[in-house]
A = this chain, B = another copy of it.
């Protein structure tokens, strides 16, 4: 492919004004985590975490770009992504440490860049992120341990989290976050982690079973030092129906 070929030029040329950033939530059956990467520049700098993200290519759709960037930076693949929104304040790249980093890696470090953020939910055990490209390392960090990120990424993370909280109220989102078989307690912990508050065990189980979102398996936990829990799996048919229609529990 030649750089002078028009179409491949477009495919190979970065758009210096538009980036994508990904907020990837994972759940380790205990707490919510977020996939972040460490910027790799000189070791002397304080390492600051960022969301996986980068400039898009000229001829690349946004969702495709988000998929690609996520893969390049972390090795994660084929993940459902939902748009969080566009972040375009003129001062979003103005922190001194961020500018320094941009000068080191970008061809147009002073350019105004608008970023489109996406979020996704993944089963933390099926996806082992690994460092690549200019990411020094990619890692799952517990959500509540993050209090600072580069650029406006902390803001993006908060917005994505708000979207997730709203979404869980009306759609069965959480299922992408869990392994194929899981216990109802694990499912409950997930909901509690997302909503940020405790739920009543009996009420939660009743509701989940009534929605027919889960099906009991034959299998039970083994070698646990307490009464072993039933495993469940998702009922895909009902899951898809509910994804489509939402829980629709509103008062009109």
A interface, CB within 8 angstroms of B: 15, 17-18, 58-62, 83, 85-86, 88-90, 112, 114, 116, 166, 169-170, 191, 195, 199, 203-204, 207, 247, 249-252
- Of A83, A191, A203, A204, chain B has the most CB atoms within 10 Å of the CB of A83
CA distance A59 to B91 in the complex (A): 9
Known: A18-B17, A85-B83. Is A169-B250 also a contact (CB below 8 A)? yes
Residue in A60, A86, A195, A251 with the greatest tally of chain B CB atoms within 10 Å? A86
The chain B residue with its CB closest to the CB of A210 is: B251
- Asked if A252 and B204 sit within 8 Å, CB to CB, the answer is yes
- Establish whether residues B114 and A62, one from each chain, have CB atoms under 8 Å apart when the complex forms: yes
Contact A207 B251 (CB under 8 A): yes
Residues of B within 8 A of A59 (CB): 90, 112
Chain B nearest Cβ from A12, distance in angstroms? 14
- Residues A250 and B249 in contact, CB atoms below 8 Å apart: yes
* C-alpha spacing A117/B132, complex, angstroms: 34
Q: Give me 10 A-to-B residue pairs in the complex whose CB atoms sit less than 8 angstroms apart, sorted by A's number.
A: A17-B17, A60-B90, A61-B89, A62-B88, A62-B114, A114-B116, A169-B252, A199-B252, A203-B252, A247-B251
In angstroms, Cα B61 to Cα A85, docked, is 14
A-B pairs, top 5 by smallest CB distance, nearest first, are: A86-B86, A62-B88, A169-B250, A86-B116, A17-B17
Copies of chain A in the complex? 2
By secondary structure, the A interface counts as mixed
For A251, list chain B residues within 8 Å (CB). 207, 247, 249
- A88: chain B residues within 8 A (beta carbon): 18, 61-62, 116
Q: How far is the CB of A112 from chain B (nearest CB, A)?
A: 6
Which of A61, A88, A249 is packed against the most chain B CB atoms within 10 Å?
A88
A60 to B114, CA, bound (A): 11
- Chain B residues with CB under 8 A of A86: 62, 83, 85-86, 116
B114 in contact with A191 (CB, 8 Å): no
Q: How far is the CB of A247 from chain B (nearest CB, A)?
A: 7
Complex-state Cα separation, A207 to B251, whole angstroms: 8
* Least distance between A18 CB and chain B CB atoms (Å): 6
Do the beta carbons of B83 and A61 come within 8 Å of each other?
no
List residues of chain B with CB within 8 A of the CB of A195. Answer: 252
Q: Are B112 and A58 in contact (CB under 8 A)?
A: yes
